Amino acid sequence: MARIVILLGAPGAGKGTQAARLSKARSLPHVSTGDLLRDHKARGTPLGQQAKVVMDKGGLVSDALVLDMLAERVAAADCREGYVLDGFPRTDVQARALEQRLKPTDQVLVFELKVADESIVARAAGRLACRGCASTYNLNGAAPRKAGVCDACGGELYRRSDDEPAVVRERLRVYHEKTAPLVNFYRERGLLASLDGEQTPDAVFGRLDGLIPGKVKH
Give the torsion sign (CA, 68, 47, 19, 16): negative
Query: Phi/psi of residue 64, each to 5°?
Result: -60, -45
Q: Catalytic residue among 38, 41, 52, 90, which?
A: 90
Q: Catalytic residue among 3, 15, 38, 123, which?
A: 15
Task: Show contacts of 14-17: CB within 8 Å, 24+ apart.
Answer: 14/113, 14/115, 14/197, 14/201, 14/204, 15/86, 15/87, 15/113, 16/86, 16/87, 16/136, 17/201
Q: Catalytic residue among 26, 38, 123, 127, which?
A: 127
Residue type, 43: R
Asked about 160 being catalytic, the answer comes back as yes
Q: Quick one: which H or E segment has residue 49?
A: helix 46-55
Q: Catalytic residue among 73, 114, 159, 160, which?
A: 160
Asked about 90 being catalytic, the answer comes back as yes
Cβ atoms of 192 and 186 closer than 8 Å: yes
Asked about 43 being catalytic, the answer comes back as no
Asked about 171 being catalytic, the answer comes back as yes
Residues with active-site annotation: 15, 90, 127, 160, 171
